[in-house]
Amino acid sequence: MVVVLNSMKTTKKSGLGRGLESLFFENAVEEASAEEKLIKVEEIFPNPNQPRQSFNEASLNELADSIKQYGVIQPIVLRPNVDGSYMIVAGERRFRAAKLAGLAEIPAVVRKLTDLQIAKISVIENLQCEDLTPVEAARSYEKLMELADCDTEGLAKMLSVPRSTIVNTLRILTLPEVIINMLQEKKITQGHAKILLSGKVKPEEMVMLAYVVCEKELSVRETEQLVQKFVERQAKKAERNSENLERCRQMKTNLCAFLGKSAKVKYYKGKYNVSFSCNSYEDLERIVAKLKD
C-alpha cells in the first residue's frame, strides 16, 4: 500500500484502496500530524505475521541503489514494542532495501495500532504489490475475509475489484500442496493452475500433470491441450470399464444359473477371469460334465 503518511492519504493502486482509511484505522489513529523521525535500523523488526513470504531480490537491489542515491523518500510505519524496539506495520520492502543500502537509520512514523489494524494494513499492502505471487495474494484475500468477517462479495466491494477475481484467486488454495509450492516457487503460473483446476481431475492426477508441465516447460496453451487429452482418455477408459463391468454382471448371472452355484467374473487388463469353488470332487465332476455338454 502506498501511504503518504504526512497527510494520511491513501493512493489507490490496481483498483484497491476505496475506503481503506475507515477499514484500517477505525477512528483509532487521530494523529494526522504525527511527526516523522529517524529510527535506528537495528531497533526495527519485521512483523512475524507478515502474509508476504518472499521479496524479489533483483527488485530489492534496484530499490537499494535508488535509496543510496536519493534516500528513503517515503517513511515506513512502525508500532512501538514494550522493550523499546519497533515492529514494521507498513514498508518492509523499503526497510529491507535500506538495510541493503547500508543505512543506519530510516525515516519512520510511529503509530500505536492494535494487532487487528496491523493485520489489515499488512494484507492490503501486500495485495497492492506488483510482484506478489498468486499464492500470497490468495492467502491475503483469505486473511482479509477472516479479519473483516465478510464473504467474497463483501471483499470485492471493499477492494473495488471484480468478485470473480477474488474467487478465482482463492481457488488456488484448493490445489494440492505440491502444486501450491510450484506456484510459490514460480515454476508454473496462475494460468497453468487455472487450467489444472478446470480439468476436473483427481488431486493425484493433477500433481502428475503439473510435473509434466514443469518437466516439459509447457505453455498455458500446451497445458490446456495436455489436460484436455488426459480428460478425454480418462473418459474413454471409464466408459470401457463401465461396459466391461456390466458384461461381468450379466455373465456372472448366467454362469451361476448354469453351474448351480456361486461364481465370480472379473475384468482386469483386457482379460476376463472366472472363478468358483467346489465343495467336493463329485461337485467338480458335475461341473466338468456340464462344461463338456
Active site residues: 92
Q: Residues with Cβ < 8 Å from 237, sequence gap 6 or more?
A: none
Bridge partners of residue 109, in order along the sequence? 36, 77
Q: Residues with Cβ < 8 Å from 134, sequence gap 6 or more?
A: 169, 172, 183, 189, 190, 193
Beta strands in 54-132 (DSSP E): 76-80, 86-90, 105-110
What gap in Å lies between CA 257 and CA 251, rounded to an integer? 10
How many C-beta atoms surround the C-beta of residue 273 within 10 A?
11
Burial of 193 (0-12, 13-18, 19+ CB in 10 A): buried
Contact in structure between 95 and 87 (CB atoms under 8 Å): no
Bridge partners of residue 88, in order along the sequence? 78
Q: How far is CA 64 from CA 19, 90, 93, 103, 225, in A?
A: 32, 17, 10, 10, 43
Nearest 5°: phi and psi at 72?
-85, 105
Between helix 177-184 and helix 203-216 the angle, nearest 10°, is: 30
